[in-house]
Amino acid sequence: MAWLVTGGAGYIGSHVVRAFLEQGIDVVVVDDLSSGHRAFVDDAVPFIEGSILDEALLRTVFADHRISGVVHVAGYKYAGVSVTRPLHTYEQNVTGTQVLLAAMAEAGVGRIVFSSSAAVYGTPDVDIVTESTPKSPESPYGESKLIGEWLLRDQGVAVGLAHTSLRYFNVVGSGYPDLYDTSPHNLFPLVFEALLDGRTPRINGDDYATPDGTCVRDYIHVSDLALSHVAAARRLDAGQPVDEAYNLGSGAGASVGEIMTAMAKGTGIPFAPEVAPRRPGDPARIVASGESAARDLDWRMRHSLDDMVQSAWAARRGA
């Protein structure tokens, strides 16, 4: 039996695929390569290029492979851009999840680990976000992830689908020299591309009520995240109880200023970041508790901030 990883050729999905393989679990990958990379998936792994919106393709995948469960990572992940592309975001993230769940039900596949997001919380007014913190998404992306969680919940009631959703915070780093984040919107690749182009990285606001005046966010290493997907799949395979959702967070966080210091150290390129005005709506601090995931999913911070920067930089430099 194998686990199907949708979006398995992307930055996060490819790390999940390798984590499964390293723990002796076979995988099958479906990815439309809209943001993923075929080279991120080993040639020995069954790879099907196509969209999760294509129900006929999914039926074929389930018919051709003995699938135990699904890790659903595929989706449109650009929260800021989703505001200007709401219909595309909902099609990819909501309709795509609905089509996948329908194909799973038809094939009798009853386990799923869903890639959710901290964006379901919006701008929380608490120091530490827990799974019970009120949900108030502020973008079509965040709304689509929350709807995805609801789809899993309702399908669980309807047909007994065993499921859990993992709410990611800021995923960074690299576990392998050939896998790296290629998003044009995430902080780490933005800083790296600026440095490689000879430009000075920028901080948006340095007058927040934080220790150094810059925003505090929760940064987690992609390899740690990938291992918790495997742990979740193992629990579902074993019929062990899981919560409907888990935060994957550090409980501490790091400021953007600290990130910039670590970037200068890890890249060996000294710089003083430019300071731009605050971006509207940016909260001073978003940090999550990972206690529930630590209890059930072997979640822990195995990597320091320096590890995150240095591994990500090495992978990007080797690209």
DSSP string of 216-250, one letter each residue = EE-EEEHHHHHHHHHHHHHHHHTT----SEEEE--
Asked if residue 302 lies in contact with residue 220, where contact means CB atoms within 8 angstroms, the answer is no
Tell whether 294 is covered by a domain.
no
Provide the residue type at 282 as one letter: D
Strands 67-72, 170-172: pairing is: unpaired
Tell whether 119 is covered by a domain.
yes
| CATH number of the domain enclosing 21 | 3.40.50.720
Tell whether 154 is covered by a domain.
yes
Listed in order, strand segments (DSSP E) in the chain are: 2-6, 26-31, 47-49, 67-72, 111-117, 162-168, 170-172, 202-204, 216-217, 219-221, 245-248, 254-255, 274-276
- Are 110 and 177 in a shared domain? no
Q: Give which of 253, 278, 220 is closest to 124, Cα–Cα.
A: 253
- Are 96 and 66 in a shared domain? yes
Q: Which residues contact 220 (CB under 8 A, 6 or more apart)?
A: 168, 169, 170, 171, 172, 248, 249, 250, 301
| CATH number of the domain enclosing 207 | 3.90.25.10
- Are 149 and 23 in a shared domain? yes
The whole-model pTM stands at 0.96
- Helices 140-159 and 96-107, axial angle in degrees (round to 10): 20
Range of the domain at 124: 2-171+219-248
Measured CA to CA, the distance from residue 281 to residue 139 in angstroms comes to 11
Measured CA to CA, the distance from residue 17 to residue 171 in angstroms comes to 16
- Are 137 and 194 in a shared domain? no
- Are 94 and 136 in a shared domain? yes
- Are 162 and 137 in a shared domain? yes
- Are 210 and 80 in a shared domain? no
Tell whether 292 is covered by a domain.
no
Per-residue pLDDT tens digits of the chain, which is 319 residues long: 999 999 999 999 999 999 999 999 999 999 999 999 999 999 999 999 999 999 999 999 999 999 999 999 999 998 889 999 999 999 999 999 999 999 999 999 999 999 999 999 998 989 899 999 999 999 999 999 999 999 999 999 999 999 999 999 999 999 999 999 999 989 999 999 999 999 999 999 999 999 999 999 999 999 999 999 999 999 999 999 999 999 999 999 999 999 999 999 999 999 999 999 987 767 888 999 999 999 999 999 999 999 999 999 999 998 6
Tell whether 295 is covered by a domain.
no
Backbone dihedral angles phi then psi of residue 204, each to the nearest 5 degrees: -95, 90
Asked if residue 317 lies in contact with residue 310, where contact means CB atoms within 8 angstroms, the answer is no
Q: Which helix (H) or strand (E) holds 194?
A: helix 187-196
**Catalytically annotated residues:** 141
- Are 79 and 181 in a shared domain? no
- Are 92 and 183 in a shared domain? no
- Are 232 and 259 in a shared domain? no
Tally the domains of the chain. Answer: 2
Tell whether 144 is covered by a domain.
yes
Residue 319's pLDDT is what?
A: 66
Q: Give which of 228, 247, 245, 312 is closest to 286, Cα–Cα.
A: 247
Tell whether 55 is covered by a domain.
yes
Q: Which residues contact 93 (CB under 8 A, 6 or more apart)?
A: 75, 76, 141, 144, 145, 147, 148
- Are 15 and 77 in a shared domain? yes
